[in-house]
A and B are shown apart, each in its own frame.
Chain A
Amino acid sequence: MSNYQVNEKGYYGTFGGAYIPEMLYPNVEELRQNYRQIMDEPAFKAEFDKLMRDYVGRPSPLYLAGRLSERYGANIYLKREDLNHTGAHKINNTIGQILLAQRLGKTRIIAETGAGQHGVATATVCALKGLECVVYMGEIDIQRQAPNVARMKMMGAEVRPAKSGSKTLKDATNEALRDWINNPVNTHYIIGSVVGPHPYPDLVARFQSIISEETKKQLKEKTGSELPNYALACVGGGSNAMGMFYHFLDDESVRLIAAEAAGKGVHSGHSAATSVLGKEGVLHGSRTILMQTPDGQVIEPYSISAGLDYPGIGPQHAWLHKIQRAEYVSITDDEAMQAGLLLTRLEGIIPAIESAHALAQLEKMKFKPEDTVVVCLSGRGDKDLDNYMKYFGF
């Protein structure tokens, strides 16, 4: 393993670890001791691959976006995670974790969700496997994301409002952790991003790494080379970005670019640009970069995109940022919304506003005509129609 991956102590350089109260230690330790071995079992791999193919619909296409390429003067490929079952990359991780949970003998699943995408992906795999499912969602997000709440309920999940703190994603995560403390034996917590205590960032990255694994093969078929010049993805906690970067980390010629949500402007006070505004500290069990006051209180971030307003980034991202293996750029609400509309008009694809943050970065780059650029289109925009309609006054 390269030095971009987690070490035997659970750290990426100075980031990571498992900063958890003793009540969570047995669960997290059980996971740590078993996840690699379970994931390496041939039967596990076979079931994972089969579900990915027949249920999720993988491999997701790598689409050469012709008119977008023409506009930016490069060969721009979209990795179509939006075409997965449930409409986003989140399902890659929930399929992997539900199989892991089953093998650990767990009968009850909990999850946190912000916009509801991870909640839906978790409720989906719980329906598929017939496991009890409780999803924590901020009270405010429940109001903002009614269709996803309905989807979760229809699949049999219980959606519990997080009423503490700011009543959004970070508080839903706190509530899920509290649930796990109170249910220490039969429950598995399916974290939705590459965050949380070790081994979560690593295991989620491994499940999402299918994105870059496929991309490499598909690029080889289409261009003759498995390496692009650039790989772009949006970052909230960072799971689709880590999936997109994973198999390119050791290919130093590939420039990895992660788009963070700058909201109304990086320094507007309404932003989620963690790599610019954050400082090192501990959030949700790992040492990482997070937005916080000088006293160490977590600051509530803002973005028009509910999937990107997380106050930290995963510890592996924090490390890639620190050693400058990946570039972290800031995209405002306005830039993302324009990029979303542009893709819709040029290619007939409505992207999730999250993914539109990655697309917006194209506008700021200079390409050579022979450049190969891959953008992770992490999700579809159906869930965002209200926001798009309101923003553009359609």
Chain B
Amino acid sequence: MNRINKLFANKEKKNILSIYFTAGYPELDSTVKIAEALEKAGADFLEIGFPYSDPVADGPVIQHSSEEALKNGMTLEVLFKQLAGLREKVQIPVLLMGYVNPVLQYGVERFCQDCEKVGIDGVIVPDLPLSEYEEFYQGTFAKHQLSNIFLVTPQTADDRIRKIDKLSTGFIYLLSSSATTGKNLQISESVSEYFARIREMNLNNPIVIGFGIHDKTTFDQTLNYADGAIVGSAFVRLLAEENFLEQILPFVQQFK
């Protein structure tokens, strides 16, 4: 049982909040500082994005942060060095999120090994296909106690959701809509029907909803249907401001 499983097994825990931010943004060495501040402010788990030059699933805000992070010199190599002391400072679950090509170049086995070494609990790689994961990488992930997190969208067919549920070991990342990141969510009738449909499937894994959650209202609304929710672009936007470290506490507290 890794930290993610423990978090969701704790029935006392309600309104689980995860925050996404891009490693190396706004400054190359801001990664761990931000993680620490987020835990202190009350975030329940973290997703640290490793930047890629061609992030097709991302909207303008995360695209920009990735571009800046790359300019600052962020690479997986640098990131694992930064994260070497992570677990002395941060106790909540931490996932890495990014695209498959940097992982392939780093080496999948080496990537998983280094994740385990620095205390990473799970990985989200949106463009790593389910079939390839199952055939080639599942064993490697398991060996290093890494949860691989899959996405589900309103268009994902039920039998595929069942398959994803079977392969998942942490939680299922439910997209609020088929969209790139950072589009403000509005819970329309069709969105709540979709959330309800997924809830009624009684999946084995916890459900965490992400994409477009940007304020207390959307956060609370999604939690009617899920075990947790993820805030990404809205937080990354805050990091562009000069005194971003001071603003982390009020930002996180608005959701609590």
Q: Does A73 lie at the interface of the complex (its beta carbon under 8 Å from any beta carbon of B)? A: no
For B, the interface residue count at a CB cutoff of 8 angstroms equals 42
Q: Does A230 lie at the interface of the complex (its beta carbon under 8 Å from any beta carbon of B)? A: no
| Complex contact A164–B63 (CB within 8 A) | yes
Question: Which residues of the other chain, A, contact B76 by a CB distance below 8 angstroms?
Answer: 295-296
Closest Cβ of chain A to B172, distance in Å, is 11
| Complex contact A295–B102 (CB within 8 A) | yes
Per-residue 0/1 for B42-81: is the Cβ within 8 Å of any A Cβ (1 yes, 0 no)? Answer: 0000000000111111011001000100100001110000
Of all chain A residues, the one with the shortest Cβ separation from B126 is: A21
CA distance A279 to B160 in the complex (A): 33
| Complex contact B178–A292 (CB within 8 A) | no
Q: Does B221 lie at the interface of the complex (its beta carbon under 8 Å from any beta carbon of A)? A: no
Given contacts A283-B101, A296-B102, contact A22 B152 (CB under 8 A): yes
Of all chain A residues, the one with the shortest Cβ separation from B59 is: A178
Question: Which residues of the other chain, A, contact B152 by a CB distance below 8 angstroms?
Answer: 22
For A, the interface residue count at a CB cutoff of 8 angstroms equals 34
Question: Which residues of the other chain, B, contact A280 by a CB distance below 8 angstroms?
Answer: 104
Closest Cβ of chain A to B96, distance in Å, is 14
CA distance A282 to B132 in the complex (A): 13
Q: Out of B70, B101, B106, B180, which one reaches A181, CB within 8 Å?
A: B180
| Complex contact A22–B179 (CB within 8 A) | no
Q: Does A20 lie at the interface of the complex (its beta carbon under 8 Å from any beta carbon of B)? A: yes
Q: Does A177 lie at the interface of the complex (its beta carbon under 8 Å from any beta carbon of B)? A: yes
| Complex contact A19–B100 (CB within 8 A) | yes
Q: Does B155 lie at the interface of the complex (its beta carbon under 8 Å from any beta carbon of A)? A: yes
| Complex contact B53–A298 (CB within 8 A) | yes
CA distance A282 to B105 in the complex (A): 10
9 residue pairs bridging A and B, Cβ less than 8 Å apart: A21-B56, A165-B53, A174-B56, A181-B180, A182-B178, A182-B180, A184-B154, A282-B100, A298-B54
**Chain A residues in the interface with B (C-beta under 8 A):** 9, 17-23, 25-26, 164-165, 170-171, 174, 177-178, 181-182, 184-185, 279-285, 292, 294-298
Given A282-B101, A295-B75, 17 extra CB contacts under 8 A:
A9-B131, A22-B152, A23-B57, A174-B54, A178-B59, A181-B180, A182-B178, A182-B179, A185-B155, A279-B105, A282-B100, A282-B127, A284-B56, A295-B76, A295-B105, A296-B102, A297-B102
